[in-house]
Structures are given as structure tokens and as C-alpha cells.
Structure 1
Amino acid sequence: MKFKFTAITFILTFIFSTILLTNTSAQNKNKFIVNGYVGGYRGLVKVEDIDAQKLTHINYAFVNVKDSAAFLTNLKTDSTNFRKLNELKKINPDLKILISIGGWSWSENFSDAALTPSSRKLFAKTSVDIIKQFNLDGVDIDWEYPAMRGEEGNVYRPQDKENFTLMFKDIRAELSKLEAETGRKYLLTAAVGGSKSFVKNTEMAEVAKILDYILIMTYDYGGKTVNHHTNLFPSKGMESGSSAHQSTLDFMAAGVPPSKLVLGAAFYGKSREAETKTNNGLNQPQVLQSKAVSGQSGGFGKLKTEFINKNGYKRHWDRHAKAPYLFNPETKVFITYDDKRSIKLKARYVKKYNMAGIFFWEYFNDPDENLLNVIDKVLN
């Protein structure tokens, strides 16, 4: 009986352990990314104010591109920020810290850096040298935009389409060398524009094979009509317009698996002036280069303090777009933004479509963690 009991106990223990390991693996596999961009370009980051337990990844913005090399413009503050960000791993050992190269203001030299085999190798090596030097976890590329004009003065070429892919191949090769040295896994990601034009001017199916994650900037949508800048779905009457849903479908159609797609959320608002008060400004012609929008909007913390149902602004909800907006009928200024309700719906969308997770710009725009807490509750 003793042997029989021991054997049964062993079998039951083995089965239970197998189930537990399977469930644990499933939980790890299903863990969603919560990636926050942190703006180091301003100087020293208040790292002590970052809630590391609610994040899986931090993308440090930004590293510059100069003479075909990745370049730390603010070496003194950047190096301090890297050291302090790494200390957050004492709180969350699984936290990953990546450098984000480029951005809206520092993308003008990407086309040159990606142009030739020698320039690509230099760019790849210098990118990886930074994460090696500062013991970081990966490289994020924010090229705005390949083969298209971004900020005025940016260099762009038709060859960018192919060179975008080749650049990632070279960075991945350098990361593989570093992995062989250290025995660690390093990440390679990209922040990509949410437009159909971005998809058209890149080889996303090939790029997706190289990258760990693709972060769709499902914000900063615009046009000549007053509308949302970070809406989940189109507004009524604007069905052919931009939306996070349409951007997601476009990238999936281009060959990117949903498991590599990360949905973008805006922790800030954008203001626009409508020509009329009709429909609270929504879908109305926009007054371009309006002076009335100056100083209106900002990060979610500012919106909550100064604008949401304050100072002549009233909050409205677009049930078709699943997005909030503010409107001041006196000035006809319209403010488009994400709030707790829209963020909750975006997080649920990520789960529904089995996407990799959610990311946001920018961490310190929500100092009270109103939006981050919603993401954490839905995805964890």
C-alpha cells in the first residue's frame, strides 16, 4: 500500500505540476505589452515618478541620427537617465528599456543612414553600441517617414521603401552578435505611421519577420475636417476616414500578424478650430493655421485640470468613433483626446483581436495615472 500510495501521489503531483506549468506558460504567453514612451530629450527624467509595475516596456525618446550613426545628443543627461531607468528593474525585474531612435524632429537623416550597405552597417553598429554600453534591452526605430515627407526639411527617397527593410536586417544582425556575447535576448521594434501611405511605402510583411513588435501610431490623425486624432473607429459620415481600427486592418492586410501589433494611445489632446458650431464642431470644415487653438489642449493632466467641462468647454462622446471630445461654442475650438472610457475600449480591442498590447505617448502627460490605471486593470 505504501508503494501504491507513493506512485499515485507521484502521478497526481506530476499531472498537477504539468497543468500548473501549462497555465503559467499560457499566462506568460498571453501577457500583454504595456509600453510607455518617456521623453528624455527634455533633460533629466523624474524616474522616481514612473510606476514600473504597470509597464512592461519603456521606450526612451529620443536618440538622434547624425552622419549615418545613432547619436546621443544629450550624453550627460541621457547616461544618467539610462542608469536610473535600469534601477526600475529592482521594482519590476521583467521591465525592458529600449532606446527609440528618430521621432518627428530627428528623422531627417534616416534616409541617408539607410542608403548604402556601409551606411546601414554603421547605423546598425552604433545603435547596438548604445544599448551595449548602457546595458539596455533593445532598439526601437521611429522613422517619420520612409519615402514620404515628415517634418519640413527631411530627406526622403523612393529607395527608402527597400532600405527600410535592409536597415532592420542589419540592426538585427548586430543584435544577434550581442546576444552571442551576453546570452541575453534583445528586442527590435518600430513605431510606424498609421496611414495607408506608410503601408504603401514600406515592405511590412518582410519587416514583420525581422521585428519583435510593430507599434502603430494610431494618433495624430488629421485633415481639413475637424475630427478626432486618436479615434478607435470612424465617425458617422466619415467612414472612409482614419481610425485605429482601419490602421490595424491595413497592417494586417499588409502581412503583419496581430500578435506583433501594438495599438497606440494618446495621453495628450490636439486642438482644432471649426468654421461653425454645427454638430459641436465635429466633421465641420477646419480653420487652418488658427490662432485660436494656441495654448488649448496639452497632456491629459492639463486637460483634466483646465479644460474638461471647464473654461467654456463641454465634454462630448462620439459613440461611433468611441472617442471623447471637447467643444467651446464661443471660440469654436474642438479638442480631441483619449480619456478613461476610450482607453478602456482600446485595451479591450487589443484583447479581442489578440494583439500584442498597447503603447502610449507620453508617460508624464498623465501624472496621476488616470489612463495607465485603466490599461493596467483591463490588460493585467
Structure 2
Amino acid sequence: MALCFGSLNLFGTKKPSPKVVIGYVGGYRGLVDASIIDASKLSIINYAFVNIKDGEAFLTNEKTDTVNFRTLSALKKINPSLKIVISIGGWAWSENFSDAVLTEAGRKKFATSAVAIVAKYKLDGVDIDWEYPGLPGEEGNVYRPEDKQNFTLMFKELRHSLDSLQKKAKLKQKLLLTTAVGASKSCIEMTEMDKAQQYLDYVNLMTYDYKTEGSKIAGHHTNLYGSTKDPEESSADRSIRLYIAAGVPPAKIVMGIAFYGRGFKMKDDTNFGLNQVPEKGVRGGGFTTIKEKFLNDSAYTAYWDENAQAPYLYNAKEKVFITYDDEKSVIAKCNYVTKYKLGGVMFWEYSSDPKGYLLNTIHVTLK
């Protein structure tokens, strides 16, 4: 992979493309509070989520979604280049993807319905967050081996439908097609990213949730590098290298940043919880809460893992370990994106840092 990254410098004197900053905004929470959204610091807002019902993209909360589309689109008065994109699926609404795109007729039906929402509300594209093709996500999700090929064919049909709308509506700007993908090796093995990427503008790597409440070991959930010498340890760097090896151009890869933490109740104080066996997962909190509450609480001690380029907190009294992204780790991630000429960064989810600490850091760092 050193050769692969080394080849990224062969651009001569061509001016590098601006890095994108993609923020997921959760409409599933209800009405969006536009007052906390700094549109001037964003390239794309991915509206989460649109559901799938009877093989079609479907607004489960249409009244709320309609208001939110207007609210978000109004932010273009602040930033005329801002794009508003619908994100379909997510953890809770991926159960029907496999059935919807199983056949050619099904893929056309699904693509037509998704693009119809884009057209009706004058939006700027589609993001697919299928968790996960060919793999179990949430309990009860349908998945099958054919998902691997159908994942690619779905994007082909979506790209065709979006291009047709652009032509029909005489739009000057290309309509966007992106996807959020799992950062594990198994997610790559169950997709054809070398083929799928040709239809995509960006591939948003969910380089977080490496550790979740069900993990057998408490560790970093959104680390840039590995904490140990284990080459198989999950990290953003490892995930990015795997996706490049799978055929995704670096300029299309968007690194994920977590605006939230994950917590673990530990059995004892060994290593302040890092890489130890927990009793259970606990709430980690959003970054604004972590910064303003936990970091100002003497019960918590902040630590920095130099190897992983990642922070963590430990509360010795409660035996609670919290893993998260902070300003320092975000700077490291943004510098990585710049160094390796990646497409940019994305984050989940806006309301977890309403004070904008991490977005401000992204804005001043990402070049």
C-alpha cells in the first residue's frame, strides 16, 4: 500500500480539488433546529433517513421531512454551494434493501422512487446507507449473497435516474450519488467497490463504531491508527487502505468523524479501561457534553493514545471508560486527508455537537 499512497503525488501542478465536508443531520429526531447548523462550514448535508417500503424509497414521517427539507434548503441563502442530499437506509431502515434491489425491475422501481423525492423537493442527490449488503446488520434484516452484485447494479440504476432528472430539469449542477459504507474488511468483501465506485461521487467510510456496546473489549471506537502492534486492529488508516486496495480512488474516499462518544463500564482499573474487558456498554454522550461536562468533572481523567492518535476518558470512581473524537484527533484526521489527497471528511451526527467545536476544527484545519 505504500506504493499506492506514493502514487497519489503524481498530479503535477494541477490545483487540488476542495475537500468536502459532509454532515449527517438526523431528521428521524423530529424537526431540525437550523439555528445550530453552520452552513458556511459544510459542503453537503445528508438528511437521515429515508425509509424503504414495498420496494420504494419512502418518507416515513412525511410531514416532518417536508418541513425539514424546506428548512435545510433555506440554508443555501447562507451558502449557495451547499448541497442537500437524502440518505436512504441507516441502521434501523436497511431491512428492505436486499429485496428492493433483487431484480432489474426492482432496481428501476427503487431508483425511480428515490429520484422522485429529489425532484419533488428540489434536492441535490441520493446517499445510500445500506447496513449491510450480504451481511447481517440490525436483527431481522434481509440479506443474501446476491447483494454483492445488486449493490453495484443499484448504483448504476440510480446514476441513470439522477442523470435523466438532471437532463429533464435542465439542471446546471450534477446530482450527487454517494454511499456510506462499513469500515470493516467483511464489508469490502461483500461488495464490488471497484465497480460500484464508477457510479459514485463519494464513498463515505464509517470509520467509527469500531467498538460498540456489545464489544468484548473496550477500546477506541474512532481511532486514526491502531493502538497496539496488531496489524489487524481496526483503525481509519487500515480501513482507508483496504478500500483503496479494493479499487476506490483516494479522491472519492471521505473519512468519518464521530461527533459522539461510546462508553463502557469496566470490571477494574487496569490500563484505565483501554483494551480491557468491560462489564457492559454505557452511554458515551455527544462531544459538546463530553467537552463541557465530562472534561470539567474532576472524576474524569483525560488521556491521549499517541499510537492511535485518539483520546479517551476514565472515571476511576465509576469505572467508566469513554472513547471519542476531540479537536486534537480531528486535526490528525484532517491532516491525514490532506496528506493522502482523500475526498474530505464526513461526520455523524450534527446534533451531537451543537456548539460546533469539532466542525470549527474541521473548518480551520482541512485544506
Aligned-pair CA distance for 1:237: 4.3
Is 1:261 the counterpart of 2:249? The answer is no
Select the structure of larger CA radius of gyration: 1
Conserved? CA contact 1:38–1:362, under 8 Å: yes
Q: From the two aligned structures, give the one with the greater helix fraction.
A: 1
Matches of 1:221 and 1:187, distance apart in 2: 28
TM (norm. structure 2) is 0.93
Deviation by residue 1:206-252 (Cα, 9 ceiling, x = unmatched):
01111010000000002421110000000024442100000000000
Residues 112-155 of structure 1: CA distance to partner in whole angstroms, max 9, x if unpaired?
01111111111100000000000000000000000000001111
Deviations 1:72-121 (A, max 9, x none): 01111111111121111111110010000000000000010111111111
SS in structure 2 of the partner of residue 197 of structure 1? helix
Q: Are 1:159 and 2:146 matched, yes or no? A: yes
Q: Where do 1:208-247 residues align within 5 Å?
A: 208-222=197-211, 223-247=215-239
Bigger drift between 103-112 and 79-88 goes to 79-88
Q: Which amino acid aligns with 2:327?
A: K
Of all paired residues, the percent bearing the same amino acid is 55
Q: Please show how residues 1-380 of structure 1 align to structure 2 within 5 Å.
A: 26=15, 29-184=16-171, 185-222=174-211, 223-287=215-279, 290=280, 293-294=281-282, 296-310=283-297, 312-380=299-367
Match for 2:335: what amino acid?
A: R
- After superposition, the CA RMSD in angstroms is 1.4
The structural deviation recorded for 1:309 is 4.8
8 Å contact from structure 1 (residues 98, 136) kept in 2: yes
**Structure-2 change in CA distance of 1:306 and 1:173 (3 Å):** same
TM-superposed deviation, 1:378: 1.0
Distance in structure 1 (CA, Å) of the matches to 2:19 and 2:194? 22
Contact 1:297 1:307 in 2 (8 A): no
More displaced stretch, 236-245 vs 207-216: 236-245
Which letter does structure 2 place at the counterpart of 1:216? L
In the superposition, the TM-score normalised over structure 1's length comes to 0.90
1:49 shift after superposition: 2.3
Mapped partners of 1:238, 1:190: distance in 2: 29
Quote the offset at 1:278 in angstroms.
1.4
Number of residue pairs matched by the alignment? 350
Runs of 4+ displaced beyond 6 Å: none
Instruction: Tell me, in whole angstroms, the C-alpha distance in 2 between the residues paired with 1:115 and 1:231.
Output: 35
